[in-house]
Structure 1
Amino acid sequence: MDFQIVKADMKQDEDKHYLGHVTFTLSGHKAEYEITLFSKKGKEWDYSLNFAGESGNEEEFLKADEQLEENDDLFDALVDAALETMEQ
């Protein structure tokens, strides 16, 4: 599934845990999505998916969440986009 990253950010908190956000679009979907990413060590990621702006179509939202679960390339690209914004 084609996607486009609108914006991304990633920071480490005082405990050195990673917290990031990526706003993105999926082809054929009307709404933008925002994924919040969290990892204690930057290896295994938890995430939460939301609409980036106003609520959109629930069926499309569920398909987007399914894509994140099943499409490792999409998920990894979103994580990588957020990690690339970190100050070295």
Structure 2
Amino acid sequence: MNITIRRAQLAKLEEPEKGFVGKVELEVEGHAEPYELTLFSKRGTDWDYSLHFLNESGKEEEIEALETVIEENDDEFDRIIDAAWDTCAAEDVPPHIQREREEAGSSND
């Protein structure tokens, strides 16, 4: 499945919620409608998400196919999360996430 990330954003939530909230707009090759994945994490490690059509409803089997990829393909989900982290203010990224991202970047060189 060819997934294109159109736009992403991630922001730090202050007290009382505390955590991170974001959204990523996705297009999937061959699918009629784009999607939005909303994200939430307390510490930036374990993510809750909600997948829905961005503009108009599309085919149920298409969104279910994307849901399966997100659930089963850790690399694809990590790529989506990384796109969101890329938009977060550097000072808001927790040190443990900065280290993980640096290590992942150096292993790709």
Which TM class, normalised by the smaller chain length? over 0.9
Q: Which of the two has greater helix per residue?
A: 2
Structure 1 runs of 4+ with >3 Å offset = none
Aligned residues: 88
Distance 1:5 1:61 in 2: 15
Structure 2: where are the runs of 5+ without partners? 91-109
Distance 2:58 2:27 in 1: 12
Q: Alpha-carbon deviations, 1:55-74, whole Å to 9, x = none?
A: 11111011111111011111
Structure 1: where are the runs of 5+ without partners? none
Query: Superposition RMSD on alpha carbons, in Å?
Result: 0.9
**Aligned twin of 1:4:** 4
Select the residue among 3, 21, 24 that pairs with 1:22: 24
**Aligned twin of 1:67:** 69
Task: State the 1:28 CA deviation.
Answer: 1.8
**Aligned twin of 2:40:** 38
Distance 1:67 1:27 in 2: 13
Q: Which has the larger radius of gyration?
A: 2
Matched residue type, 2:12: Q
Distance 2:33 2:84 in 1: 20
Matched residue type, 2:62: E
1:75 counterpart SS class: helix
Distance 1:47 1:8 in 2: 14
Distance 1:85 1:47 in 2: 17
Give me the TM-score of the superposition, normalised by structure 1. 0.94
Q: Which of the two has greater strand per residue?
A: 1
Bigger relative contact order (CA 8 A; separation at least 6): 1
Task: State the 1:86 CA deviation.
Answer: 0.8
